[in-house]
Structure formats: C-alpha cells, structure tokens
C-alpha cells in the first residue's frame, strides 16, 4: 500500500441528473444503477433550479424503489435547508431505507439564485462558518445517547434546547464538497469524506495537494487521515480504442486509470456523471470489478 493509498474499499456510483421532464426516467436510471452492480446513487441539489426535481423528495422515492444501493445528495444545498430539518430528514430516510443514506453537504454556490429563493447572501468565509455550525447541529441531533437537549448558538445557525433524535439506523457519514483551503481544513477536522468533482480541478495533481491539506488538518485535530473517505465525481467517454486522455477509452483503460487514482491519490469512491444506461452498465459491470482486482492485487 502506497503512502497516498488510504486503504479504503473501492466503491462505484452514479450521478444522475434530477430532470423533472421525465421523472420516471430518472427513477429508472437509479434502479438500473442498482441492477448493474453500482454501490451508490447520487443526485445534485439545486432547489432554485425549476427544471430539476427536489432532490430530497427524489431520494426518498428512490429509496422505496431500491433494495441495496446507497443513496446520497451530491451535495445538499445548505443555505436553503435548515440543519435541524436536514438532521431529521436524513435520520428518517436512513431508518426507512435500512441504513442506506449518506449525507453530501455543500456550503452553497450560485448565490444570486439562492438569494432569489429567500436565503441570506453569505460571503465565502461566512458560508464556511455556517457549514461548520450546521454539522455540529446535525450530529448533535443524531446523538440520542446524550440526555441533554441540544444548544448550539452560532453566527448563522442555532438551536435552543432542541430535543435530540431520531438517530439514524447507521453512522451516517457527512461528505463535504470542498476545494478552497479553509473548506479542505474543515474536511480534515470534522467531516467523514471529501467529495470534489474532477472537472472542477485544474489537474489530477491537485488531488494530492488537497489531500495533504486535509491530512494536515486531520492530524492537528487528533484524527487519522485514513478516517476520511476520498470520493470523486467523474465524467468520461467509453471508446473502443485506447487514447491518451483521462477516462476516455475502453473499460480496461478506465479501470487502470481509476486504480492509479486509488493507489496514487487516495481516491476510493468513483461516481460517474451519466444519464446513459449503457455507460452506467459498462461502469458497474466492467470497470468496477476490473479496478477492484487491480487495486487488490497491488495492495496484496
């Protein structure tokens, strides 16, 4: 196992557009993701986007139509959702789905649209502070082993004597969509996972630099860097012939490149943005098992 490999089991998922013009088609893609062996189904969350289904409603519906696959928002828009309500919604769906929910959480983007929907505009620094406060509230409400009511008095979010509960059916992980230094430090200090999109990074090498920031923050907080799962939203194209491009080529090339991202850059959950059944099937049935075999062989 290399220094950059945190040793996590590889997982593979889908990132499906929650388009409201064909709700049945969106749900069918989620069901298809489970059928072709993927581990995780995710949806982006943009409550200000009228062409999208509401992500939490969609996740709840999909939970009732699937049996095995895990479900997560990718990532939930915090500025338009109160953390106390998020805590209870996540715990409720996790119990209803028998422990299949994880929580991707974001500090917010597209602020003009967020403000148009009634939320307060925050600066980048304020949005990070608000995210930290929200995580404290969410985890506090899940902590039903604590008999005291929850008091969190933050600058942007607070609860004053809130009753705790319900607890999720399992230890729900909180994954942060993060790119800037302060957000990356928060991942290391408080989160269970880091969830960037490869398309938003300048290069693959940025993964290493960001992981180093996360690891340093984790160590300073008394945590082991390996406690934090590293996830990655990816896009690509399947072709018959090999190419020089990243995630552009046959499934065998995809598997090799994903194994490199796992062993060399610590990433362990790969979430493919695609609304194409054939691509999702290729990813789940060919790329995933081949990548797992390569990583298992290298770890030895």
Distance of CA 3 to the CA centre of its chain: 24
Using a 10 angstrom Cβ sphere, with 0-12 exposed, 13-18 middle and 19 or more buried, the burial of residue 180 is middle
For residue 115, with 0-12 CB atoms within 10 Å meaning exposed, 13-18 middle and 19 or more buried, which class applies?
Answer: middle
Largest CA distance in the chain: 62
At the top level of CATH, the class of 11-299 is: alpha beta
Please give the structure tokens belonging to residue 74: 């990718």
Q: 161-175 burial string, b = 16+ CB within 10 Å, else e?
A: ebebeebbbeebbbb
Q: Where are the domains of the chain?
A: 11-299
Rounded to two decimals, what is the model's pTM? 0.97
Tens digit of pLDDT per residue, the chain (300 long)? 456 899 999 999 999 999 999 999 999 999 999 999 999 999 999 999 999 999 999 999 999 999 999 999 999 999 999 999 999 999 999 999 999 999 999 999 999 999 999 999 999 999 999 999 999 999 999 999 999 999 999 999 999 999 999 999 999 999 999 999 999 999 999 999 999 999 999 999 999 999 999 999 999 999 999 999 999 999 999 999 999 999 999 999 999 999 999 999 999 999 999 999 999 999 999 999 999 999 999 999
Q: Are 114 and 108 in contact (CB under 8 A)?
A: yes
* Distance separating alpha carbons of residues 88 and 134, to the nearest angstrom: 13
Question: For residue 211, what pLDDT is reported?
Answer: 98
Q: Both tokens of residue 200?
A: 């938003």
């Amino acid at each position: 196992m290399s220094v950059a490999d945190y040793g996590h089991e590889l997982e593979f998922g889908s990132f499906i557009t929650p388009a409201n013009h064909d709700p049945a088609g969106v749900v069918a893609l989620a069901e298809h993701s489970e059928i072709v062996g993927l581990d995780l189904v995710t949806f982006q969350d943009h409550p200000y986007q009228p062409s999208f289904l509401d992500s939490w409603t969609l996740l709840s519906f999909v939970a009732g139509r699937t049996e095995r696959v895990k479900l997560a928002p990718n990532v939930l828009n915090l500025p338009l959702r109160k953390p106390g309500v998020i805590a209870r919604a996540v715990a409720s769906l996790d119990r209803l789905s028998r422990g299949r929910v994880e929580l991707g959480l974001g500090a917010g983007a597209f602020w003009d649209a967020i403000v148009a929907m009634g939320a307060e505009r925050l600066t980048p620094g304020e949005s990070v502070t608000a995210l930290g406060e929200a995580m404290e509230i969410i985890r506090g409400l899940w902590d039903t082993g604590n008999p005291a009511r929850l008091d969190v008095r933050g600058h942007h979010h607070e609860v004053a004597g809130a009753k705790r509960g319900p607890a999720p059916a399992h230890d729900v992980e909180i994954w942060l969509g993060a790119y800037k230094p302060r957000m990356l430090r928060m991942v290391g200090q408080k989160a269970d996972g880091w969830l960037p999109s490869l398309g938003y990074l300048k290069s693959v090498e940025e993964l290493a630099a960001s992981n180093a920031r996360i690891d340093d923050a984790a160590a300073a907080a008394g945590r082991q860097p390996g406690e934090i799962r590293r996830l990655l939203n990816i896009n690509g194209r399947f072709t018959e012939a090999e190419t020089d491009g990243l995630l552009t080529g046959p499934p065998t090339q995809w598997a090799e490149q994903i194994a490199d991202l796992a062993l060399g850059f610590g990433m362990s959950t790969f979430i493919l943005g695609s609304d194409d059944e054939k691509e999702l099937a290729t990813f789940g049935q060919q790329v995933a098992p081949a990548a797992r075999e390569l990583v298992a062989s290298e770890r030895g």
